[in-house]
Structure 1
Amino acid sequence: MGWVSEQLVEAAQGGDRESITALVQGAHPHVRRFADHLCASPQDAEDAAQEALIVLYRKIGSLRATAALASWMFRIVRHECLRRARRVLNGADGGDGADGGAPALAASAEEEVLQRLEAERVAEAIRALPDVQRRVLILRDVLGHPGRTVADGLGLSTAAMKSHLHRARTAVRLRLHHSPGA
């Protein structure tokens, strides 16, 4: 953990506000870089990084081993990125009734299990894609951003974005077709 000293972590765990602030500021670039690789969009990455830093700020005292700080932070980021992706995959309201309506209910427990297994197969196929293809696919097909917006956001030409999207769709289709449960 070269970006932070054990003494700084221990002081932060003890409640020293300056140490906590220094720890949060020092962690941000590392947490953000990790989130950039996991989240679908730069906005989701920044939101996930901020959430992880908020958790760090609030719960640093509960961290048992100072050496576990980095893995703890990265687990928080991974969880937040996955939570955001699931929310998108399950619809804008995440099926939790946040829009004022009732949560969407599966017709049966069996159907719910099958839906979750299928969603996990799709998520695994998307996770297996190379970074640029994964980002293009999520931004274009999952989040529904226009092609030009996706290309600009990722620093690609429209032709390159379309090429990555085609390869990503093909790879996901092949993986789903050849994976167990297909």
Structure 2
Amino acid sequence: MSNTRPVPINEERVWDKTKTIKSKTDEVGTITYVNNVFIDVSEYSKEELMGQPHNILRHPDMPKIIFKTLWDNLKKGNNFNAVVKNLTKTGKYYWIVTNFDIFKDASGTPTSFLGARSSVPDPVVEVIAPLYEKLIEVEASGGMEESEKYLKEYLADKGGNYISFIKKLLSDQGVDVSSW
């Protein structure tokens, strides 16, 4: 597979938002399983996805600090719910929220992650997109440390951490987050 990343276009990928996108990765984020919804929405074939790093879908509008926080939590065995803007093979975007099942070896070390991704209501995107834009701006000028500091201060002002912030945004839109 080519290492060339798709050029983002400002066009949302139309998909059946009642469906759940699923994929499984190993402990370092290499794709080991994708469902048909994942294939359809991402516009990649199964063969193009298998064995690739999951960040093949990373949209440049996503701040690095969100993925650092996500992976820091997953590697500790903690579920992490993130709102993510993904990039399709043709450069379109789609917003999802993640929820993970974490598989561990006998010693409790995470060995793989099964991600279930659902659509994100537009009012949540309207809150998250400007935050992510600011985080990218902070990362560009001050690096990850400054981005992390900005995110923590933003979330403290909202009265919690990233997960509680996301859960509140989603539950305010009628999304059931009780199983998280």
- Is TM-score (shorter-chain normalized) higher than 0.5? no
The one of the two structures with greater contact order (alpha-carbon pairs below 8 A, sep at least 6) is: 2
TM range (shorter): under 0.3
Tell which structure's C-alpha radius of gyration is larger. Answer: 1
| Higher strand proportion (structure 1 or 2) | 2
| Higher helix proportion (structure 1 or 2) | 1
Q: TM-score, normalised by structure 2?
A: 0.26
